[in-house]
Structure 1
Amino acid sequence: MTIDSDRTSGLILQALKARGAQTASVLAERLGVTAVAIRQHLDRLNGEGLVAHDDRRESVGRPKRYWRLTDKGHARFPDNHEGLTLEIIDAVRNVFGDAGLDRLIGEREARMRASYGAALSSGGSLADRLGRLAARRSAEGYMAEVERLADGSFRLTENHCPICAAARACQGFCRSELALFRALLGPEVSIEREEHILAGARRCAYRIAASEAN
């Protein structure tokens, strides 16, 4: 297998991670590769257990084949230091109890608020601030992006969770991050989680809008 072949396979996995299930033709257009080449890569990745497909009938004619990551494919985007993180969480809980773990999460939130606050301190529109927030989150491995919705609100999407193992062990991390976003964006902005990886979604997504009172 060539380096270019490895690179294309990696890009396919990244595209499926970031955008969810897609057809071979959509992947080909997105990556600038022929559909024939994409199908060859998908067949190989399928053989390795990294991708799987579902056939969907969307209209008259043959069903369309949508490719998605398997659990093994998702595992190619691992948590940061998963084993060590779980050991530390378990140790803190054993020594200091749940109250001590809550204090640890609170300290992490306070530090993130100070760090993120500096990145967002230059002001600007809500779109500008969300763009900077997404860039910061992406730099930390969350594969974050922002889109403006038809009603003028925004959706902040995180296609990967680099602390997923920690969040599964203690959902206080998820509650803390939602509280962090609300504190950073201020009381004039409403933010609600619409999709949650821990609830079985492929991503975490937040709907964000200026509060009606403003």
Structure 2
Amino acid sequence: MIPTVTDSDEALLNLLRKQGGMGISQLVDELGVTATAVRQRLARLMEDELICREEVVRTGRGRPSHCYQLTEKGRRSGGNNYADLVDVLWAEIRAIDDPEIRVGLLRRIAKQLAERAGELPGGSLEEKMHRLAEMMKQRHIPFEVDESGELPVLTAVACPYPELVEHDKSICAMERMLFSEVLGETMRISGCRPLGDACCSFEPSSASKLPVGEP
């Protein structure tokens, strides 16, 4: 899953982009925060594989120190604010008159997003849905799984695409395709915020015959 980087973490990444490898004391001086705060940021970024830690060999006595630097993934993480580009591209997708071409493009986009998200470990559908909800939470997009009914329901507590949905509810259809690809199960939209529901929710439906381009 593509990690979501906070402003404070981005400040640390930008320092490493400019300075190269740095130690904790250097980062503390540059960022003006405590060593504990720096270590917490470093731990998050290492977990997301955006930075790595290397041991610095000392010639004399004393404890070895560590140097933190960007990974290849971290170097590619800069400049990811594509909001305007996304708006333009989505407008162009909506402008495609041929529904078959439009739906085919949406399906390919959903498949690519699913591949970038990565495969979920094996297990039951419910377990996969819980793992998917956790992956979304790591991107600061709260999702929940409700197993109280006959079928488990995946609910988006907050919309991942609030501005796009204001103009076009078909973004929900692409999200349905994305979750179907990631979970390996045909999903249907059981609740749709743009249509008046409190949240968007998705549930498995092996008997669903909805067209892939419709919610």
TM-score normalised by structure 2 residue count: 0.46
The structure number with the bigger radius of gyration is 2
Q: Which has the higher helix share?
A: 1
